[in-house]
Amino acid sequence: MMSKRQKRMAAVAALVVGLALTAVFGFTAFRKNMMYFYTPTDILDHQVADDARLRLGGLVMVGSVKRGDGLQVDFTLSDCEKSLPVRYDGILPDLFKEGQGIVATGTMQNGVFVADEVLAKHDENYMPPELAKSLKTADGKHSCAPFKSATGVSPAPRSQAVSSSSAPRSALRAREGTVGRADGDVKGGVIVGRDAVVPS
């Protein structure tokens, strides 16, 4: 026979367990909807309607940025697996540069992602500029790990990643984790611990 206090203890424990289970099942089922953006792999592997507004996240490929008339800019966005050409006409964030992670909002039009908003997605590394310079690959070295495939079935990691057709030498190269992104392999289908390295 349980005392009143033990009954209350059991009730609270049941509440906590029930909530935790609900959350786990709920978020597993809706994982795709919790993603703030899709990766180039997600979009290329799935049919996307031409007028569907979506967000695309990845790294700006080195050597791919071409400035056009006015504010127009063309570049290629990569997740170390696949890449997509992006066109944007507007003001870029301060941090925008080649090798930088960005999230663009827009639509797919004839194989080109036409963006109307570009936000910078910087990494969580902080260091003084002198240190960044002394590290051979520090500037422009950004991990692909934060760009997770929403569909969760990204292809097996390939040793050679995409390269920009215009500047193949300075393209993104896939490398086994140096920044030590332990969180890269948390979920199935996530791109594991690889960095996009810019040869200096």
Which x/- pattern, by CB under 8 A, does the window 138-177 give for other proteins?
xx------xxx-x---------------------------
Residue 23 tokens read as 């959350």
88 is in an annotated binding site: no
Question: What residues from 49 to 68 belong to the interface with other proteins (CB under 8 A)?
Answer: 57
Which residue in 146, 180, 171, 173 sits closest to 158, CA to CA? 173
Q: Which residue has the tokens 């953006």?
A: 37
Task: Kindly report the number of other CB atoms within 10 A of residue 144's CB atom.
Answer: 28
Among residues 181, 138, 188, 161, the alpha carbon closest in space to that of 80 is found at 161
Q: Which stretch binds other proteins (CB under 8 A): 62-70, 131-139, 156-164, 166-174?
A: 131-139
CB of 108 to other proteins, least distance (A): 18
Q: For residues 85 and 194, what is the distance between their CA atoms, to the nearest angstrom?
A: 22
Residues in contact with other proteins by CB under 8 A are 5, 8-9, 11-12, 15-16, 19-20, 22-23, 27, 31, 34-39, 57, 92-95, 103, 117-133, 138-139, 146-148, 150, 179-183, 186-187
